[in-house]
Structure 1
Amino acid sequence: MKDRSSSIIALVVVLALVAVPLVLPADTANVLSRVLALALLAVSLDLLVGVSGMPSLGHAAPFGVGAYTAALVTRDIDAFAPVPLLAAVVTGGIFAVVTGVLMVRTKGTYFLMLTLAIAELTHVLAQRWDSLTGGTNGLYGIPSITLAPGGEAVTLAGMRYWWILLVFLVGFVIVWWTSRSLLGRSLRGLRDNEERMGSLGYDTFRLKLAVYAIAGAVAGAAGSMWVAQNRFVSPADLGFEVSAMALLAVVLGGRGRLWGAVLGAAIVTIVRDDIGALLGGRGPLLLGLVFIVAVYLLPRGFAGTDWRGMLIRRTQEEKA
């Protein structure tokens, strides 16, 4: 019964998101496109943090690699939307495998700091490789995607939003299926007791490398979504702030609850960019206050909090 209710709610939410360009202004579609890009990045990070117990402070690296790849492919090879998307997925996954061979051999604080170090090195490389990345100026003037081979560039915000929504839904389903599969159950065992999993015969190195590669590939897809919306990418998209925002979204939403990461990404994006703009650019300050309040009042995040139980207890207290 609970699974059926969850499925109905998910269907209603998806239909509501599909209807956004039909009933709301184009600016709303643009905002939601940015939310969905960060949301997919946060969901891929939650696969590491919440499901696998591998906290990362460098998840912006595969995101940025995917974004730069999508930008270069769109500009120089083909703007047909699936082409830069697939290129971003492949490069994000390859980057994760190459760097993960070193990183997944560590754990805890060492893993956390090594992910940060790799991300910072990638950030510096993007700043200095002017001929490829445009240096500190970034890549701009990226053509709009097309939805048919050799077709017209997409100029309507609603059409671009529907493409980004489609990529998000596919990416979310892939991460959700991974977390529910045999691999996902093994990863939860790895999170809870890696030594015991090793003693049972599991190859913990391959498990960790596999999930790291999947998370990197999905983060690369999120990078392609970011470029499709903004048509610009810079070294800042590989910076610590992006990794921190994704991790903050996971914590606010509730670790291990994939839909919670989506909710957290929406809160982070809207508070920092939209509400912050109305408060004279004080979005980061407001976001910090929201995080402090959430940590104290909702230590398990929005998705991990038993709202029904809280309501029942409060009702019982009022009756008493």
Structure 2
Amino acid sequence: MTRVVRTGMPVVAWLALAAAPVFLAPYATTTLARMLVFGLLAASLALLVGVTGLPSLGHAAYFGAGAYAAGWFAKNVSTTAPLSLLIAAATGGVVAAATGWVAVRARGVFFLVLTLAIGEIVLQVAEVWESMTGGSNGLYGIPATTIGGEPVVHPAYLYWFVLAVFAVGFAVLWLVVRSPYGTALRGIHDNEPRMRAIGYPTALYKYTVFVIAGTVAGLAGGLFAVQQRLVTPADVGFTTAALALLAVIIGGAGSLWGACAGAGLVILVRDSLGPTLDGHGPLVLGVVFVLVVYLMPRGVAGIRLRRAS
């Protein structure tokens, strides 16, 4: 019976997500689309933090790189949806490959600080490369993405497009986690010296997962550009990276769907409740974080795991 429930819950969740625009107002639909975009970013970070044990504070760099690449491509080359998103994913992967070979050589706090430095470097590039990024003003005026030559502007249609791409990105992460490669990553998280002693090239494993996570983060950034049609340096900076890490911790570092749930909560507080709290949204997020750390150390995902056991 428990197995049936655990199998049916994801199906119900996906069906509910697919049917959401039918019952929600346009603003709520747009907010839910932002949750999906941020959820994909958080899930890609969970692959590093919860599965491999690489806590990063620079993951927004790959998200922002993908967003800028998709936005620039849409403005200057083509608005065709698959192309701009492929460019975004490839850009995120290339930037992750260029920086990851240095980052994965560090461990613990040193890795955390190094990724923070990488994020700040990418942020500075975004601010000074005005011909590509628009500088401090951001990349604005991104045209609507097109499918079959038709622009996708209706909130419901745009939401379904975001949901479809989210499903593809989430499926990639899920397959990585469920594969023998993912099992090896968990082994590195639990005891890297032992994995190295039995013959696993742990440095190569960490580097490849860093690139995979950066690629999916770039895809999420491309979705962000498609959905928001505006990219600013703030989307590359520390705040975005910290919120993504907060979402992973709230949801449960070892769970992809938990990271998505945490991302939904972060966006809900920041975008929906924040304006009604006289700018005290960050304070509420801080309180939520403290409560989760003390009351739910395994995050939102841990609740279901305890009930199922």
Q: TM-score if structure 2 supplies the norm length?
A: 0.97
Following superposition, the deviation at residue 95 of structure 1 comes to 0.8
Deviation of the 1:294 alpha carbon:
1.4
Q: Distance in 1 between matches of 2:146 and 2:298?
A: 41
**One-letter amino acid of the structure 2 residue matched with residue 240 of structure 1:** F
Q: Give how far 1:4 is off.
A: 3.6
Name segments (4+ residues, structure 1) moved above 6 Å: none
Deviation at 1:5, TM superposition (A): 2.3
Q: CA deviation at 1:285?
A: 1.0
1:127 aligns with 2:116: no
* Correspondence for 1:74: 74
Shift of 1:308: 5.6
Q: Distance in 2 between matches of 1:208 and 1:47?
A: 11
Match of 1:167 among 165, 168, 177: 165
Aligned residues between the structures:
309
Instruction: Give the CA deviation at 1:273.
Output: 1.5
Equivalence map 1:79-158=2 (5 Å):
79-148=79-148, 151-158=149-156
Aligned to 1:318: none
Tell me the alpha carbon deviations over residues 2-61 of structure 1, each in whole angstroms, 9 at most, x when there is no partner: 444223111111111111112211111100111011100000000000000011010000
Deviations 1:232-283 (A, max 9, x none): 0011110000000000000000111111101100110001111111112211
Are the structure 2 counterparts of residues 309 and 83 from structure 1 closer, same or farther at C-alpha, using a change threshold of 3 Å?
closer
Instruction: State the match for 1:199 in structure 2.
Output: 197
What is the match of residue 25 of structure 1?
A: 25
Shift of 1:156: 0.3
Deviation at 1:305, TM superposition (A): 3.0
Deviations 1:79-114 (A, max 9, x none): 111111000111111111110111111111111110
In structure 1, stretches of 5+ residues that fail to align are 313-320
Q: Structure 1 CA distance, aligned partners of 2:265 and 2:135?
A: 31
Whole-angstrom CA distance in 1 between matches of 2:286 and 2:220? 24
- Two-structure CA RMSD over aligned residues (Å): 1.5
Paired residues for 1:229-308 under 5 Å = 229-305=227-303
Q: Residue type of the partner of 2:198?
A: L
SS at match of 2:56: coil
**Amino acid of the residue matched to residue 22 of structure 1?**
V
> Aligned residue for 1:183?
181
Which string of whole-angstrom CA distances, capped at 9 and with x for unpartnered residues, describes residues 159-188 of structure 1?
111110011111111101101101100001
Identity of aligned residues (%): 50
Corresponding residue for 1:64?
64
CA distance in 2 between counterparts of 1:306 and 1:36 reads 21
CA distance in 2: counterparts of 1:308 and 1:237, whole angstroms: 36
What code does the residue aligned with 1:207 have? Y
Question: Equivalents in 2 of 1:166, 1:3: separation in Å?
Answer: 27
Quick one: distance in 2 between partners of 1:194 and 1:308?
27
Q: Which has the larger radius of gyration?
A: 1
Deviation at 1:306, TM superposition (A): 5.5
The one-letter code of the counterpart of 2:193 is E
TM-score (norm 1): 0.94
* Runs of 5+ unmatched residues, structure 2: none
* Compared CA separation, residues 290 and 223, structure 1 to 2 (3 A): same
Distance in 2 (CA, whole Å) between partners of 1:244 and 1:186 is 27
2:31 counterpart letter in structure 1: V
Q: CA deviation at 1:307?
A: 7.3
Counterpart for residue 44 of structure 2 = 44
Q: Secondary structure in 1 aligned to 2:150? A: coil
